[in-house]
């Protein structure tokens, strides 16, 4: 069996400009270059999987249906995303059914592991790209190569990604270039 390669993407701060709870599709703003990056990766044969913590459900700010509407709207703006995995759990949630520590919540690798199983993905041939240390930790826990989207002023010693990049557009160039190296 041939395993697939994937680029796992965080959502907020990676694809869309959002650092809070977003349950309204009208609040979606695509980060410049994200659409082109996703298209070029998909065109090169990469499976595009979004893995996103969505604790706004646990906090009672929005519902799972709201998340789905936001994702449907993102699809109309950026194109070929194979699947969204999201985690609504948060240990400090006010909605009891979502108030717990859960293995799908990044930095735990649960969402990535589920996608790896669902799509027969080779994690060693795959990448996790995100804007927080917990994104990088989740990728490293599965054996993926990682790109932390950050500027040099935010770099810490808390975690070491494979690479740093300022945005998804630049990160996609690294992924595409690495694939061409013999």
Known catalytic residues?
10, 12
Burial of 49 (0-12, 13-18, 19+ CB in 10 A): buried
Token pair for 59: 């906090």
Contact 129, 112 (CB under 8 A): no
What's the token pair of residue 58?
Answer: 């646990």
Tokens of 165: 């990049």
């Amino acid at each position: 069996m041939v395993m697939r390669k994937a680029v796992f993407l965080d959502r907020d701060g990676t694809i869309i400009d959002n650092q809070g709870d977003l349950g309204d599709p009208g609040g979606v703003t695509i980060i410049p270059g994200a659409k082109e990056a996703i298209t070029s990766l998909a065109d090169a044969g990469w499976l595009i999987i979004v893995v996103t913590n969505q604790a706004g459900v646990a906090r009672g700010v929005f519902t799972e249906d709201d998340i789905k509407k936001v994702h449907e709207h993102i699809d109309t703006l950026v194109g070929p995303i194979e699947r969204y995995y999201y985690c609504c759990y948060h240990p400090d949630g006010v909605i009891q059914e979502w108030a717990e520590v859960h293995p799908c919540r990044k930095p735990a690798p649960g969402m990535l592991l589920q996608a790896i199983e669902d799509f027969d993905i080779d994690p060693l041939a795959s990448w996790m790209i995100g804007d927080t240390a917990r994104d990088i930790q989740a990728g490293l826990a599965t054996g993926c190569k990682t790109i932390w989207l950050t500027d040099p002023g935010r770099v810490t010693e808390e975690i070491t990604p494979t690479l740093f990049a300022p945005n998804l557009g630049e990160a996609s160039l690294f992924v595409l270039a690495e694939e061409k190296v013999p």
